């Protein structure tokens, strides 16, 4: 009798372990990334030590089609979080990000409050033309559900810029959808 009871307990534990492992594996299939790329220009003659704001053009989300390609829909999305925010200085090619004193990025969309998305408050080393910013842990699905959003870039410089600086922006959003709609 004890052996039978032990076997039943062992089978129960194995079944629960299998279910939890299977759910974690299934959950991985409901996660995917959405990447957006945009470019901005910081104009020459921006005043030194005075913060300024640059808005990107509107960025179309195309979320419905992205969800469809990933076999999900808006109503099945659990959360969307920013996992990467990368800035690449493309022009002038012989310059770097050492002119940046601070930088904060906000996401904005019509009818939604601006939300701090990414930032860097430490001095940038000379010779760096790629910068990865710290990212927030906010759920951003309200912005991605919109038709478009834009980024507000607040930055301060510690140098006088004598020429325009072209910067490519890459953002990666991790999307987590419900497993089989449950």
Residue 3 lies in a domain: no
Residue 157 has pLDDT above 50, yes or no: yes
Residue 24 lies in a domain: no
Residue 22 lies in a domain: no
Residue 153 lies in a domain: yes
DSSP-assigned states of every residue in 150-174: EEEEEEEESS---S-EEEEEEEEEE
The structure tokens listed for 21 are: 């492992």
**Residue 2: what pLDDT?**
57
Domain that holds residue 120: 32-181
What radius of gyration do the chain's Cα atoms show?
23
Residue 173 lies in a domain: yes
For residue 182, name the pLDDT band (cuts at 50, 70, 90). very low
CATH code, domain carrying 46? 2.60.120
Whole-angstrom distance, CA of residue 70 vs CA of residue 118: 26
For residue 24, name the pLDDT band (cuts at 50, 70, 90). very low
The structure tokens listed for 9 are: 């307990």
What pTM was estimated for this model as a whole? 0.81
Number of domains in the chain: 1
């Amino acid at each position: 009798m004890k052996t039978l009871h032990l076997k039943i307990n062992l089978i129960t534990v194995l079944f629960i372990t299998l279910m939890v492992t299977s759910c974690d594996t299934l959950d991985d299939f409901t996660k995917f990334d959405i990447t957006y790329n945009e470019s901005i220009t910081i104009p020459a003659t921006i005043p030194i030590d005075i913060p300024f704001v640059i808005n990107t053009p509107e960025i179309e989300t195309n979320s419905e089609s992205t969800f469809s390609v990933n076999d999900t829909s808006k109503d099945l999305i659990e959360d969307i979080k920013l996992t990467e925010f990368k800035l690449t200085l493309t022009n002038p090619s012989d310059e770097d990000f050492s002119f940046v004193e601070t930088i904060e990025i906000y996401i904005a969309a019509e009818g939604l409050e601006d939300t701090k998305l990414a930032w860097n408050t430490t001095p940038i080393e000379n010779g760096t033309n790629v910068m990865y910013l710290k990212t927030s842990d906010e759920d951003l699905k309200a912005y991605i559900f919109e038709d478009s959003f834009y980024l507000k870039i607040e930055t301060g410089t510690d140098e006088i810029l004598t020429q325009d600086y072209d910067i490519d922006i890459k953002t990666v959003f991790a999307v987590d959808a419900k497993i089989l709609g449950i």
